[in-house]
């Protein structure tokens, strides 16, 4: 029963932020559909790209690796920095608050004084965070589905959409796991959040640089964002076995290390 009460407490605390993030992600994917379906965005972009200098053409094309087709542009919506920022914000905030944030405010001492084991406390935060991330992914996919219907864009099948939601959830789950590991060692929420943000930033730009510059291509397999391929899923119809294994392994390893630290650390 204390674990259920803790879950309710976490849900009440984070509900406004999570709802706002889900609505924004769904609205952003809907707006991408609106742009693709309402005007000839693909033709305009192609003309614009051809007018740019060669280097700029390469940079833009690397971001639109799904091509200028409606499907390619919708896939780009899932690679967009806004999409990644919303998911990472949720993952980082939940992980930071789980341990370091509660230690900083002193709330963790009060919670641990209740008949609640450390295992139950840790599990409650992990279960809630993963459920929240899955809900965020579902909201984004729902925005895409509604947008395709409203603006009469060729629909994706349920298989690719489910794979997309799973891949996005695993990516943000990996971000959560890594940040939770930092949180398990930290005592200041701000420093932990900054560390999580820096890791996401390095991963995102590392993957982009590796895609643009052949000599830096070796960086890509070491970034998290390399294993979230919306174009492969939505345009090419490929599976996500390798991304699921890699991101799932990062999540599992991060959670295991975070628990090993949390179960032995002093409170606060």
Please list the pLDDT of the chain residue by residue as tens digits (268 residues): 477 888 888 999 999 999 999 999 999 999 999 888 876 555 545 554 444 445 444 544 555 554 557 888 888 889 989 999 999 999 999 999 999 988 887 777 677 667 778 899 999 999 999 999 999 999 999 999 999 999 888 899 999 999 999 999 999 999 999 999 999 999 899 999 999 999 999 999 999 888 878 888 999 999 999 999 998 999 888 999 999 999 999 999 999 999 999 998 877 6
In a domain, 245, yes or no: yes
In a domain, 119, yes or no: yes
In a domain, 209, yes or no: yes
- Cβ burial of 16 (10 Å; 0-12, 13-18, 19+) is exposed
In a domain, 207, yes or no: yes
In a domain, 74, yes or no: yes
- Cβ burial of 169 (10 Å; 0-12, 13-18, 19+) is buried
| Cα separation, 43 vs 49, whole angstroms | 10
**Owning domain of residue 152:** 2-262
pLDDT tens column, 37-74: 876 555 545 554 444 445 444 544 555 554 557 888 88
Please give the model's pTM, rounded to 2 decimal places: 0.89
In a domain, 268, yes or no: no
In a domain, 267, yes or no: no
CA distances from 154 to 33, 79, 165, 237 (A): 11, 19, 19, 14
Structural domains of the chain, count:
1
In a domain, 227, yes or no: yes
Under 8 Å between Cβ of 104 and 192 = no
Region of residue 209 (phi > 0: left; psi between -120 and 50: alpha; otherwise: beta): alpha
């Amino acid at each position: 029963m204390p674990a259920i009460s803790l879950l309710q407490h976490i849900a009440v605390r984070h509900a406004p932020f999570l709802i706002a993030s889900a609505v924004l992600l769904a609205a952003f994917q809907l707006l991408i559909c609106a742009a693709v379906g309402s005007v000839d965005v693909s033709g305009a972009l192609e003309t614009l790209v051809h007018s740019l200098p060669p280097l700029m053409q390469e940079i833009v094309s690397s971001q639109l690796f799904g091509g200028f087709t409606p499907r390619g542009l919708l896939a780009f919506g899932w690679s967009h920095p806004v999409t990644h920022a919303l998911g990472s914000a949720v993952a980082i905030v939940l992980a930071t608050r789980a341990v370091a944030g509660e230690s900083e405010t002193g709330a963790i001492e009060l919670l641990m004084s209740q008949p609640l084991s450390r295992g139950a406390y840790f599990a409650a935060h992990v279960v809630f965070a993963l459920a929240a991330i899955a809900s965020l992914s579902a909201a984004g996919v729902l925005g895409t589905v509604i947008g395709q219907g409203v603006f009469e864009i060729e629909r994706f099948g349920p298989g690719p959409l489910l794979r997309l939601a799973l891949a996005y959830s695993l990516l943000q789950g990996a971000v959560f796991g890594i940040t939770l590991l930092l949180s398990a060692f930290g005592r200041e929420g701000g420093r932990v959040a900054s560390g999580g943000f820096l890791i996401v930033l390095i991963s995102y730009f590392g993957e982009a640089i590796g895609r643009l510059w052949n000599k830096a291509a070796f960086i890509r397999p070491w970034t998290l964002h390399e294993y979230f391929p919306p174009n492969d899923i939505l345009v090419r119809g490929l599976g996500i076995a390798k991304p699921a294994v890699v991101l799932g392994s990062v999540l599992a390893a991060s959670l295991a290390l975070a628990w090993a630290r949390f179960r032995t650390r002093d409170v606060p």
